[in-house]
Amino acid sequence: MSHRIVIVGGGAGGLELATRLGRTLGKKGLAKVILADANLTHIWKPLLHEVAAGSLNSTENELNYVAQAKWNHFEFQLGRMSGLDRKRKVIQLAATHDEDGRELVPARELAYDSLVIAVGSTTNDFGTEGAAQHCIFLDTREQAERFHRKLLSHYLRAHAQGDNGDQISVAIVGAGATGVELAAELHHAAHELAAYGLDSIQPENMRITLIEAGPRVLPALPERISAPVHRTLEKLGVRVMTGAAVKEVTADGLQTAQGDSIPASLKVWAAGIRAPAFLKDLDGLESNRINQLVVRPTLQTTRDDDIFAFGDCAACPLGDGSERNVPPRAQAAHQQASLLVKSFKLRLQGQPLPDYRYQDYGSLISLSSFSAVGNLMGNLMGSVKLEGWLARMFYISLYRMHQMALYGGFRTLLLMLSDRIGRSTDPRLKLH
């Protein structure tokens, strides 16, 4: 019987790994590759802020796991991982129900020879009072679409009442990449909604407040990147509050530890990450305080050589002599998926596995159609700062590279052509 590789999690890293292993080991019959996910479709997580603002129609940018599996010689199983039995080498998948609560797929077990856990991360509200009840997190497509519906409802209500003095207030907690990009995208959406006739709320009457507990926006990036981003946001009319820790969230707004009260009808929490709770002490596997599985440089878990973890759900040593871990970034998940493709070929041959070493190729931040800023890093050119149109083109290319890994060059080219045609026939903003 061929080696069974079960991959749990169809995010960017897990789906890329399943696709590439299917094209190599699965197609040749050297291994049976199985991908398990709780959803039927995939959307690239860095696009969720555009879904929330309505700049991106998620149904036109989703990938169907069943079809992807057929095209790339792996098997897809619908279900959310609920447990692990390392002794028997099986995982448990919870039952899946339809919208009416009827059981769609029963609970079941999947056997594995090698298990890869790539379930990503969720937003960490740090136990802040009221955050879970009153904030929307942008962890999933459903959450992003929920925010968009709420935003559109405000505009449609104001339009029906015909009062041009209406306002809408949005508070975004966390000025990392997601928070910054969402703030700029919402400012763009305000102009587009007014252009389509929903002008009872004028663009200047969308009050956007970006709140960051740290001393500056984009705290994970160099200050030479965060400073121009801060200036651009303020130029767009976004109120930026740094050094402001949120103490409580209510139905009407937020309270900071410094005593400020921020009214907001829409609230988004985009500060911090943690791995899904079910990973904590999963059948004896080592995990850290934010539920990440602790792995060695080979990406094998510290207590089981047959179980791998990568991406945001894994705590992998950075390998620079410090105690820091690899940062939770899309480029890290892509690099780790590429390493695991090589690792599983070697594993089937009984060869030693290579170690992962993180390579930082820089960061790019999109400020919607207004600008983009970032830095690219490489051995030949060092660190190069990019701004404006060029940075925007590099930012767009990141998504195209993701599509290349999943679809190949020819189909990605067709998708690019389709997008170009769609822009001339579709609304510039999703209006439903």
Closest CA to 115 of 90, 137, 96, 79: 90
Of 50-64, 347-361, 393-407, where does the model show the most confidence? 347-361
d(CA 375, CA 364) in angstroms, rounded, equals 6
Residues 244 and 319 in one domain: no
Closest CA to 81 of 92, 90, 89: 92
CB 82 within 8 A of CB 92: yes
Closest CA to 179 of 46, 334, 54: 46
The mean per-residue pLDDT over the stretch 325-342 comes to 94
Q: What tens digit of pLDDT does each residue of 159-195 get? A: 888 766 678 999 999 999 999 999 999 999 999 998 8
pLDDT band at 429 (very low <50, low <70, confident <90, very high): confident
Percent of the chain having pLDDT more than 70?
93
Residues 189 and 284 in one domain: no
Q: Where are the alpha helices (DSSP H) in 196-351?
A: 223-235, 330-348
User: Taking the CB of residue 57, how many other CB atoms lie within 10 A of it?
Assistant: 16
Residue 212 is assigned to a structural domain of this protein: yes
Q: What tens digit of pLDDT does each residue of 335-385 get? A: 999 999 999 999 999 999 999 999 888 777 888 777 777 766 654 445 566
**Can you say whether residue 253 is alpha, beta or left, with left for phi > 0 and alpha for psi between -120 and 50 degrees?**
left
Q: Read off the tokens for 134.
A: 């009153």
Range of the domain at 97: 3-121+275-348
pLDDT score recorded for residue 323: 80
Closest CA to 201 of 162, 234, 239: 162
Residues 371 and 304 in one domain: no
Q: Read off the tokens for 389.
A: 């149109």
User: Taking the CB of residue 338, how many other CB atoms lie within 10 A of it?
Assistant: 16
Residues 34 and 117 in one domain: yes
Number of domains in the chain: 3
d(CA 339, CA 235) in angstroms, rounded, equals 42
Residues 91 and 78 in one domain: yes
Residue 211 is assigned to a structural domain of this protein: yes
- In this predicted structure, the answer to whether residue 215 has a pLDDT above a threshold of 70 is yes
Q: What is the CATH number of the domain that holds 332?
A: 3.50.50.60
Residue 28 is assigned to a structural domain of this protein: yes
